[in-house]
Amino acid sequence: MSKSRLVLLIPTLDRSGAEKQFTLLASHLPQDEFEVTAIALTRGGPYAEALKSAGVPLTIIGKRARFDPSTFWRLRSELRQLQPDILHTWLFAANSYGRMCASVVPAAKIVVSERCVDSWKAGWQLWLDRRLINRTDRLVGNSSSVVEFYRELGVPSDRLQCIPNGIEIPPMAQTCDPAARETLRNELKLPADAFVAGYIGRLAKQKRVEDLIWAVETLRQIRPKLFLVIVGDGPERQRLENFARDVGCLEHVRFLGHREDASRWLKLIDVFCLASSFEGMSNSVMEAMSVGKPVIASDIPANRELVLQSKTGFLPKLADTVGFMQFLRCLMDQPGLCEKLGSAGRDRIEKFFSVSRMVESYVEVYRSLQSPPDGHPIVK
């Protein structure tokens, strides 16, 4: 049986959640079954080196504008040359260009990955998504809420599938490093007895980081040991820094900006916080849970699929800053609770959200699409 030719298509290889999952999948697929090629529509990025190390060929198309005819023709040419059995696209731009170009490989099966409840999409983007449904053999969402969003958009149920993100579980010895924690605390000039809440991610409006700042500003009045560390950058950064200064809690909030070593800062925090109004499946939450950190996250469907109330963390209602404050206070006032919830969270990630489980789920999708009606794989 020859290998199945698989092309994975994504807009960029920037350091972000979808790009990480793309790279994990490409580099962990069984090499005796799949001949994998990666294509980035616009540019490469930090994950290009990981693909190279895994022996995955990478082509960069060089898309320069939202509607770029040259990208369309270059992608068609690339697909015509590669003749994939499966074309698997990720995120809106790649999902659109990939399906529109797929006519040059009429035998290929088309898998589309959607990574978020895309309420941000404009009317023309939703219109295009609907128009391309008939060119979609399988649409995969990374959470049940994402799948439901596209079901309501009109994707037939038999073409929908949920495959949660996968996360690499670090050895336990790497997650408990008092010396590293002390080094990071000293770097930020935090007191030795500081209780650190942390957020790692993009500073965008839907992340509602302002809610976290409000919660810390309120609680620090009676729990002055509380600090908030924010790792990441984005369009909201300056506004958030101004807000923290205006409400008088800048001394208790540290803005670290973009860090290539973002995961290193998980060793410093006592609890991970996420106040988002919508998510697909948060890689940041999963990474925090994988190293044994409890999580306080807004009670939205995607977060409920990861965080179990009072078992691995807490789920205050969306925009409930008082709820965030109360749960932070609960963790500060109950010694041992952070460790208990964090340990349960790590066990949950290891059991249900491993990379191997994610990869095998995609392998099953690919196999099913290439199987004849009797269920036996096609021999080529």
**Tens of pLDDT along 246-267?**
999 999 999 999 998 888 899 9
Contacts of 74 (CB under 8 A, 6+ apart): 61, 62
Whether 380 and 2 have beta carbons less than 8 Å apart is answered as: yes
Residue ranges and CATH numbers for the domains of the chain are: 4-166+354-369 (3.40.50.2000), 172-352 (3.40.50.2000)
Band of residue 177 on the pLDDT scale cut at 50, 70, 90: confident
**Average pLDDT along the chain:** 94
CB distance 285 to 295 below 8 Å: yes
Model confidence at 354, pLDDT cuts 50, 70, 90, reads very high
Q: What is the pLDDT of residues 10-66, one digit of tens each?
A: 999 998 889 999 999 999 999 999 999 999 999 999 999 999 999 999 999 999 998
- What is the per-residue pLDDT for 263? 83
* Cβ contacts of 273 within 8 Å, gap of 6 or more: 197, 198, 199, 212, 215, 228, 295, 296, 297, 324, 328
The span from the CA of 224 to the CA of 252, in Å, is 9
pLDDT at residue 118, rounded to an integer: 86
Q: What is the pLDDT of residue 379?
A: 42
**Rounded CA separation 330/324 (Å):** 10
pLDDT at 262: 82
Is 374's pLDDT higher than 60? no
What residues contact residue 11 under an 8 Å CB cut-off, 6+ apart? 40, 41, 42, 63, 90, 91, 93, 94
Paired tokens of 288 = 């925090």
Q: Which residue has the tokens 């999902």?
A: 95
